[in-house]
Amino acid sequence: MVERALSLKNISKTFGKGHTKVEALKKMDFSVAKGELVAVIGPSGSGKSTFLTIAAGLQKPSTGQVSIGSKSIDAYNSKELAKLRFQKIGFVLQSSNLVPFLTVADQFTLIEKVDKSKKKPAAREDILQALGIEELKQQYPRDLSGGEKQRVAIACALYHDPDIILADEPTASLDSERAFEVVKLLGREARNKNKGIVMVTHDERLLAYCDRTVKIRDGKLADFIPDSAEV
């Protein structure tokens, strides 16, 4: 049996009450296995962001169960959730999640400083080399190109050896060539390091590099048919 990195069971999320009630997610089931890169697509307002924030434990679903690995996180409080995010989940966000006043090397140091569990993080040099950014160590984010920033962000996400990587439109600010490069990199890391990777995107050209694609429409999950009939 395939080991699950993340699973969402019967997830619903409603905002507001009465006339203003909005159902962002309706009884959604989703899971990603270790070593798998799954793309989640959907038009804006479809519930993609809600899906991602619930998967990350940033907000609680109205009903349903979220599990990271084999553990349900439903009962976690915000402190435990923060710890969980820090240890088990890597993030790659739309507009680079780098701290502007830290050099690339110091972005990694920050992770070490916050981590008090003293677990030996995967060697920094290896990750930098694997992502081809070892030359950028002393640079500040402002000196990096968009592609370089996302590569550093991926390196940071991997640094802590998380089980899952959640990527929110990681290619939004990149040209096609750079975008393909970043997605290929994510896929490679998923397989090499046995991580479950969920990538939310609206760019269908990237789907060829993903193991599986699901589509969110009106808060429901549907299998994606790679077809232009939708457009």
Q: For residues 36 and 85, what is the distance between their CA atoms, to the nearest angstrom?
A: 19
Is residue 148 a contact residue for other proteins (CB under 8 A)? no
Contacting residue, 2, 22, 110, 222, with other proteins by CB under 8 A = 110
Contact 55, 28 (CB under 8 A): no
- Shortest distance in whole angstroms from residue 189 CB to other proteins: 17
Task: Identify the residue among 7, 97, 150, 201 touching other proteins (CB under 8 A).
Answer: 97
186: left (phi over 0), alpha (psi -120 to 50) or beta: alpha
| 49 forms part of the interface with other proteins (CB under 8 A) | yes
Task: Tokens for 103, please give them.
Answer: 């050099």
Q: Which of 148, 152, 149, 106 is nearest to 127 (CA)?
A: 152
> In 3-state terms, the chain is what percent helix, strand and coil (to 5)?
40, 25, 35
Tell me the closest approach of the beta carbon of residue 179 to other proteins, in angstroms: 18
Q: Which is nearer to other proteins, 98 or 133 (CB)?
A: 98
Would you count residue 127 as binding other proteins (CB under 8 A)? no
Interface with other proteins in residues 159-218 (CB under 8 A): 168
Question: What are the backbone angles phi and psi of residue 9, rounded to the nearest 5°?
Answer: -120, 120
Window of 7-15, 16-24, 97-105, 208-216 that interacts with other proteins by CB under 8 A: 97-105
Radius of gyration of the chain (CA): 18
Q: Which residues in this chain contact other proteins in the complex, by CB under 8 A?
A: 48-49, 52-53, 56, 58-59, 79, 82-87, 89, 91, 93-94, 97, 99-102, 106, 109-110, 113-114, 140, 168
